[in-house]
Amino acid sequence: MFVYEKKLQYPVKIKNPNPALAKFIISQYGGPDGELGASLRYLSQRYSMPYPELKALLTDIGTEELGHLEMIGTLVHQLTRNMTPEEIKKAGFETYFVDRTAGVYPTAASGFPWSAASMAVKGDVIADLNEDLAADATIL
């Protein structure tokens, strides 16, 4: 099970909101190579992993990715604080804003909502570790 810690893994303090930047950063939240996909990829691959070392590693990395997800969500949230209608239009943020306002929605920068189609869980050690290498080479 999981227990929440009321702190970020690393502090986020953005003095100047910047919705133009938030348009790109949000892909790291809910895009094909984002943190949501990363955490679900590792946490879901655990069940068919036969080796204790790698059960531990997938659990710990998958958990840490949830911490990364929270930091990216915080970045998007702080980048889109106190926007005026002019700032929203100037930044090209209006296509996001019309549907989600300043909510932090798991989506790719293209506007495509987060999809499990962007990850693979095959129940095979080699296939899954190759998937991890392709998605996030830092696991090995």
Q: How far is the CB of 75 from other proteins (least distance, A)?
A: 9
Instruction: Tell me the window of 34-42, 57-65, 92-100, 111-119 that interacts with other proteins (CB under 8 A).
Output: 57-65
Q: Which residues pair with 107 in a beta bridge?
A: 113
Contacting residue, 1, 2, 3, 86, with other proteins by CB under 8 A: 3
Contact in structure between 114 and 108 (CB atoms under 8 Å) = yes
Count the site residues for other proteins by CB under 8 A. Answer: 36
- Sorted by sequence, the CB contacts under 8 Å of residue 111 that are 6+ apart come out as 95, 96
Contacting residue, 20, 60, 123, 134, with other proteins by CB under 8 A: 60
The dihedral built from the CA positions of residue 128, 131, 132 and 133, taken in this order, carries a sign that is positive
Read off the amino acid at residue 102.
A
Instruction: Give the x-and-dash track for 65-84 against other proteins (CB under 8 A).
Output: -----x--xx--xx--x---
Q: How far is the CB of 32 from other proteins (least distance, A)?
A: 18
Taking each continuous run of H as one helix and of E as one strand, the counts in the chain are 6, 0
Q: Alpha-carbon distance 80 to 59, whole Å?
A: 32
Contact in structure between 58 and 45 (CB atoms under 8 Å) = yes
Q: How far is the CB of 43 from other proteins (least distance, A)?
A: 15
Site for other proteins contains 53 (CB under 8 A): yes
Q: Which residues bind other proteins (CB under 8 A)?
A: 3-15, 50-54, 56-57, 60-61, 64, 70, 73-74, 77-78, 81, 125-126, 129-130, 133, 137, 140
